[in-house]
Structures are given as C-alpha cells and as structure tokens.
Amino acid sequence: MNKKEIIKLLFKRGKESGIKDMEVYIQGNKTIDLAVFEGEIDKYSIAKEQGLSFRGIYNGKMGYSYTEKIDETSVDMLINEAIDNAKVIDSDDEEHIFEGSKDYKKIDSYNEELEKTSMEKKIEVTKVLEKEALRLDERVEKVDHCIYGEESFESVLINSKGLDLKNKSNIAYAYISVMVKDKDDIKTASSYKITKDFTDFNAKELAKEAVDEALYMLGAKSILSDDYPIILKNNVAASILEAFMPIFSAENVQKGLSLLKGKINDKVANDLITLVDDPFMKEGVASKSFDGEGVATKYKKVIDKGKLKTFLHNLKTAKKDGVETTGNANKSSYKAPITIAATNMYIKNGDLSFKDMVKTIDKGLLITNVEGLHAGLNPVSGDFSLSSKGFEIDSGEIKRPVNQVTIAGNFFEMLMDIIQVSDDLKFTLPSSGGYIGSPSLKIKSLSVSGN
C-alpha cells in the first residue's frame, strides 16, 4: 500500500469509528552529521527517517497518535489511540481541522544544489575548518567540536476537509568550538554559519571568528559586584529573547503563564523596540507558507515602537480571543501535538553602529556570551540570572576580558530599560521555538555578581 492509500484507509476507518474530522501529517527527514577531530572523521552519521502523525476530532475533543511504521498494520493502532486520547481530554477549548486559506505565498526554501554537492566536498570543508583554526595561533590547543550538518525536510498535510499541502526545505550548517591555552589559562569560544548555499561556507572566516573570541578571553577575571550599564552583544540578546519566546504565545497568555496578559496596545518595551515575525524572510530558517494547521502564514509586528500589538496565535487560541489566527501553529515533529511558535522573529535594527554604542559607555560591561539559559531563566516570572563572559568597557573603549560573573535582572523590566539599539542584527541557532534574531542592545543597568 502506498501512502495515499494508507491515508484513504485511515480516513475511512476513522469515520466508521466516529471521528468527525481528521488530519494526517507526514514528515520525512534526511540528515547528514559530520565531525572532524585532529584531522580524522570523528563522526559520520547519515539518516533517513519518516513519521506519520494522526489527529482527529472525536466527540468534540482532539485526539492524537503517531507512528514511525507507516503501513496498514498501524492503521487500527492510530485510530484507537487517537480516540483513547480524545476520551480523556476535558479541556473545553473548541478544536478545528482547517479547510484551507485562500492564498498561500510561494516560498523558495529548498536548494537542490546542496544535496547535489558531493560528500567529499563536505568532509573537506569540515577538515579545512579545523586546520585553519589550529594554525591561526599557537595558543590554539584543540578544536573540541568541528561539525558540518545538513537537513532536508519534506512534509505533507492532508485532511478530511480536502486540504492537501506540501512543503520542502533544506539547510546546512557548520559549527566550530575551539580551546585556547596560555599556561594554565584555558578558554573556549565558538562560531557558526547557517545557510542553504554551500559556497557560503568560508572556513577561514569562521575559524578566525572563534579563535579570536577565545584569545580575547585569555586572562579574564571577575569584577566587583555592582549594577552596571550593559551592552548585550547581538548573539546574546538573541539567545535571551529566544528563551523568553513563550511569553508571546497566546496559549501561555490564556493559561495565565505570561505576564503580558491583558497588555495588548500597552507599552511593554522602550519606543526603540519593534519586534517582527516574518515567515517570508529570505534566508530565514523558519520560512514557510503554511503553519502546523495548514493556515497561510503572515508577516506581523508583535511589538511596534514599544507597544504590544498581538500575541502569536493558532486556530484554537484565536477563536478564544475572538481574533484571527496569526498562522503560528507549530508542529515541531510528527510526535508533537500542535503548539505555538514564532517563525523568523527579530528585533528590528536601530541606526547606531556597535562601535558608537560602546563609545557611549563610561564604565560598564559588554556581554559576549551567556550560559545556562535553560536553568537560570524563568519565562514565567521574567527573572534571569545568567553565567556570563565579556569585557569591561572603560571610557568608551573595550578593555580587559571578564568571566565568572552573572548578570541578573527581569526581562519585562529590561524591555523598558533598552536605551539603544544597534544596527547589527544577528540570528541565533534555530530551535523548535523559531529562528530568533536581535541587534546588540544597550541596557540602562543590570545587576552583576562577581567578587
């Protein structure tokens, strides 16, 4: 039986079992994962996988099930489990299977050339990346991670209301993490590149970025605990923003898990802040024409000049709030139920260069790295306290490196305290929460804990 026939059978049996509307989502991935260590291939992993997700409305409740074995032996299991799961649901939320949007924007998110590039070339680029890093400076002790990866996705969404959508995309990335050593002083730093165009990988540039950052950190010491004006470097600002993504989800707002509740059209950030969710962004890793429920995606400003304009919605949350869905329903994998996530979301560039931003600080800190984002940060309360690295800024100049400090504050307060926005927008590594970016931000002050 081919997939079309299995889906047909699923819908037929589902209907006979009392399921009203049904949907099938099939996801197929092909991945390559390469790592090089000391000139040798340290990891070489190839994979081909697929999974089928089924959901259906049974007595008004949505039941989910999935399988990795896509054949007729799974049909009864999928239907029985979905009904079983629907039966225990007692949430009163109204559920929908979507009949389709009027228009779907065409998005070019698959680059054929990437898959056609030979494995030898991909291995070569990874080896060169390590070699470049090792010869840049004699203090480069080791390259602890040197990775090339590639993923291509194909998804199909078909439902009993006649919707039949297809999406195909691919992406490649390179990542390097280096370890430098000067006497007993060991420091690490990393850099990465994400692209659909293989010719974009510049091993020299990427190696230099990581090595330079690690070397700059040598001799780093803590500083006195105090409140300091802070510049969050673009990548750091983006990672913190990513960790706080849940506060913009209408689902969390409706469940009382976001302090942004009731603040639509209120000022929630400094006037300088405009936060955009753009599913059509060129080079956007999360670009797509339809969301996890088959709704056409759209461009939107979540925060416009400091004012909160909308939450991110799916069909269920939109209906509850009496608004239109924003097309942010997310199906992170065939194993996951529908949630909400941003697509390509970023704080818009300001007009100040990073250099000029540094010049405005007499005594303060530039933060270039934070760790522990999944532990030292609470998206519900907004509180964060993060292990950080960076540099002291003295009289408008970047001075000695700083480590073994934490920066602490509250995200909601910090949004108000952003007093300058630079013009150097950068995106962080993509996650299931979306592809998130920010320029460097100057914060009036944060608590720094050191000596």
Partner 1 sequence: MLDKIVIEDIINEALSTGGDFAEVFIEDKINTGLSMLGGKIESGMSGRDYGVGIRIFKGTNSVYAYTNDSTKETLISVARQASLALKGKSKDIKLDLMKKEIENKHKIITFPRNIRKNRKVQLMKKAYEVAKKEEEISQVKVIYMDSEQKVAIANSEGLYVEDKRVRTRTAINAVASKDGEMQSGFYGIGGHSGFEFYDSINIEDYAKESSRIAKTMINAKPCPSGKMPVIIDNEFGGVIFHEACGHGLEATSVAKGTSIFAGKLGEKIASDVVTAVDDGTIPNAWGSQNIDDEGMETRKNLLIENGILKGYLVDKLNGRRLNTKSTGSSRRQSYKYAPTSRMTNTYIANGKSKKEEIIANTEYGLYAKYMGGGSVNPSTGDFNFAVMEGYIVRNGKIEEPVRGATLIGNGGNILKKIDMVGNNLAHGQGMCGSISGAVPTNVGQPTIRVEAMTVGGRKGEK
Q: Which of residues 80-139 bind partner 1 (CB under 8 A)?
A: 81, 84-92, 119
Using the minimum distance from each CB to partner 1, give the nearer residue, 21 or 278.
21
Asked whether the CA dihedral 206, 31, 108, 155 is positive or negative, the reply is: negative
Q: Which is nearer to partner 1, 157 or 448 (CB)?
A: 448
By C-beta, is 162 or 256 nearer to partner 1?
Answer: 256
Q: Could you say which residues in the range 326-365 bind partner 1, by CB under 8 A? A: 335-337
The single residue among 226, 271, 356, 397 that binds partner 1, judged by CB under 8 A, is 226
Task: Select from 17, 167, 332, 378 the one that contacts partner 1 (CB under 8 A).
Answer: 378
CA dist 26 and 76 (Å) reads 17
- DSSP, res 352: B
Residue 146 bridge partners (DSSP): 176
Q: What pairing do the DSSP bridges indicate for beta strands 383-394 and 363-371? A: antiparallel
Closest CA to 165 of 238, 114, 107: 107
Residue 412: CB minimum distance to partner 1, A: 9
**CA end-to-end span of the chain:** 68
For partner 1 (CB under 8 A), the number of binding residues is 76
Query: Binder to partner 1 among 136, 194, 241, 259 (CB under 8 A)?
Result: 259
User: Binder to partner 1 among 65, 159, 191, 239 (CB under 8 A)?
Assistant: 65
As measured in angstroms, the least distance from the Cβ of 447 to partner 1 is: 5
User: Least CB distance from residue 212 to partner 1, whole Å?
Assistant: 17
Choosing from 4, 12, 255, 355, the residue that interacts with partner 1 (CB under 8 A) is 255
Dist CA 198 CA 10 (whole Å): 40
Among 9, 77, 165, 419, binds partner 1 (CB under 8 A): 77
Q: Which of residues 262-291 bind partner 1 (CB under 8 A)?
A: none
- State which of residues 94, 144, 182, 362 lies at the interface with partner 1 (CB under 8 A): 144
Nearest approach, Cβ of 53 to partner 1 (angstroms)?
A: 8
Please name the residue that has the structure tokens 């030979």.
118
| φ, ψ for residue 14, nearest 5 deg | -60, -45
CB of 44 to partner 1, least distance (A): 5
Candidate residues 8, 12, 69, 204; the one interacting with partner 1 per rule CB under 8 A: 69
- Of 222, 332, 349, 431, which one interacts with partner 1 (CB under 8 A)? 222
Site string for partner 1, 379-418 (x = CB under 8 A): -xx-x-xxx---------------xxxxxxx---------
- Using CA atoms, how far residue 87 sits from 65, 140, 183, 240, 443, in Å, is 13, 59, 64, 39, 50
Task: Write out the DSSP string of 284-340.
Answer: -TT--SB-TTSPBP--EEEEETTEE---B--HHHHHHHTS---S-EE--STTS--EE
Whole-angstrom distance, CA of residue 413 vs CA of residue 87: 43
Q: Which residues of 54-88 are buried (b: 16+ CB within 10 A; e: fewer)?
A: bbbbbeebbbbbbbeebeeebbeebbebbbebbee
Which of the residues 31 through 60 are near partner 1 (CB under 8 A)?
Answer: 37, 40-51
> Rounded to whole angstroms, how far apart are CA atoms 163 and 293?
10
Nearer to partner 1, 409 or 433 (CB): 409
Q: Does 72 bind partner 1 (CB under 8 A)?
A: no
